[in-house]
Amino acid sequence: MSNNIFERYEIKYLISGDQRKKIMNAMAPYMRGDEYGKSTICNLYFDTPDYYLIRQSIEKPVYKEKLRVRSYGPAKPGSKVYVELKKKYKDVVYKRRVSLPERDAMFYLGSDLTGGLPGQIGSEIDYFRFFYRDLAPKVYISYDREAFYAKDDNTFRVTFDENIQWRDYDLSLTQKPYGESILQPGQSLMEIKVSSAMPLWMVKALSDNHIYKTSFSKYGRAYEAIHKCFRQKAAI
């Protein structure tokens, strides 16, 4: 499977600083850090004017999908970014992405052009844009990530996200990360990404440390905050 196509389960856990230390101790014999170490991930989520995509996602349908552009750290106009189409059917996550310079990605996504991205993945993104129409950047989300993968299976990954921030203005990957915090101080969002069964040592570590999976969407949390603000303004 290429590094532009992913098919896997993604299981999420909200954990404390102490739980994170214990899980990392359990991981030490089996996993190694990603070659890039810690990184800051910046995302622009695209949606319709009435936030149809995230509203549908929050209702937990069998199938859901989203479109975003991602950079690793703040981008420059010529920096490589990733246009990503992420789909989830039942519990399986499918992600397709293509890379191109930031200026080209934003020009393409802000236009009515089709055929601007290569191959089958480009055709899927074209269809998505045609189907939903009027897509535009709605929310910027950034976070600091530390990633690990299994020494004997690089498809088994564990990531820890902290300092998750969002904003619905200044919607550009060329701007610095800042915004409203989503997590409580000391919290991390841990994600286990696996193509088949989870290793037994990890199952035991989760059980021993009373860590339980949760439903968590960064974009969903941001939308809920935006919607709450709308309701408060309407009540004034």
> In the chain, where are the structural domains located?
5-235
Q: ∠ CA(188), CA(183), CA(11), 5° rounding?
A: 50
Q: Give me 16's structure tokens.
A: 């404390």
Closest CA to 99 of 133, 70, 56: 70
Confidence bin at 218 (pLDDT 50/70/90): very high
Domain 5-235 grouped into CATH 3.30.300.160: no
Separation CA 205–CA 210 (nearest Å): 9
Using one digit for the tens of pLDDT, what is the confidence trace for 91-133?
899 999 999 999 999 999 999 877 778 789 999 999 999 999 8
Q: HSE-up of 199 (CA within 13 Å, CB side)?
A: 20
What's the CA gap between 231 and 74, in Å, rounded? 32
pTM of the model: 0.92
Please say if the pLDDT value at position 230 is more than 70: no
